[in-house]
Structure 1
C-alpha cells in the first residue's frame, strides 16, 4: 500500500506516521473482512431463497434484481412470497402474458437450481444475459432492445455500449419466421474505431 504524504502528514513525526499507517491498514483489512462476510451472507440468503421458491418466483426475483441493477437502486431488497405447493408450474401458465418468455427459461432455471454454490455467479450471469435477450410475447422485443433501442447480436455487443447497434450488426427476430442476421462488422474494424 503506497500513501503519499501531504502537508498535514509532514507535521507528524515518523513514529506517529507509522502508527497512523498501521491504523489505516487495520481499518482497511477490517472493512475488507466485513464486506466478505456480507457477500457470503448475501449469497447464502440468495441460495436459500432460490431453494424455497418455485421456478416462476425465481424468475421474478432475478428480473427484479436485474431491473434494480440497471436503475442503480441496489439498496432495496426483494423478498419473494413463500412458495405455495398448490401453485401452478411454469408449463401450466400457458395463458399468462409472458408465458413464452418464461417457458424459454425453464431449462436454465432447472440448471440454476442444481448447480453447486461455487458456480452460482457464473451460471446466474449467463442466465440473466439469456433473459435480457429473450423477446416478450406481448411486444415481441427483449428487455435489452427496449433499453438500448436495438437487439444485441451476442454478448460481445455489451462491450461496446456507446456504439450504435447498426454498426455492430443486429439480430432481426420476426415472430413465426426464421431469424435473419445482417452481415456483422469485422472485429478488427470495431477495434480500430474504439482505439
Structure 2
C-alpha cells in the first residue's frame, strides 16, 4: 500500500502568499487530469474534486506525485452499448460548494465534465490565491457568481490565454461526451513552453519535504 503525505491544503498553507507558482500549477494540472482520466476510463465520476482530496507521496520518490483520494461520493456511469446514458435529474447537491460545477448547483447528475470543471476551479485557486466566491456561503449566490464569471470569462482574464481556451472547452462538454484529456494537457504544455517551464523539473517543495526524511 502506498504511503501518502500531506494534502494540497497542507502544502499551500506552508506558503505565503497562499498560492503556487505557474510551474507548480501546470504540473499539478497535468497530474490531476491524468488522475481523472484514469477514474473516468474505469467508468466512474469522482464528484468531489477539491484540494483536500489531493495528497502528495510520502517518500523521496513520490513527493512530486499527486494522488486523488476520497471516493465517498464517487458514482459509476451508466453505459449501454458503449454509450453513456444520463440519468434523470436527481434533485440533490453533490460535492463541495467552492469547487462544484454549475451543473452541481442546478442539482443535475454529475458527469466527467463536472469533475474537469472542479479541477479547473482548483487550478485557478492555486495560481491566483483564491476564487471570487471564497467568502460567500450562500449556495445560490455562489451559483450566480459562477454563471457571471463563466459568461464574462473574468476568471481567466489575467492568466495565459490557454486558460480561457481550457475553460471554453470544458464548458462546451455535456454529460455524455467523452472529454479529450490530451487536448487540455497539450494546452497546458503550450503554457509551459511559452513560459520556459520544464514540467519534468522537481516541484519547489520536494527538497523541503525530502530533507525531513534524511
The TM-score, its normalising length taken from structure 2, stands at 0.27
Q: Which protein shows a greater Rg?
A: 1
TM-score by length of 1: 0.29
Q: Which has the higher contact order (CA 8 A, sep 6+)?
A: 2
* Structure with the higher helix share, 1 or 2: 1
Report which of the two has the higher share of strand. 2
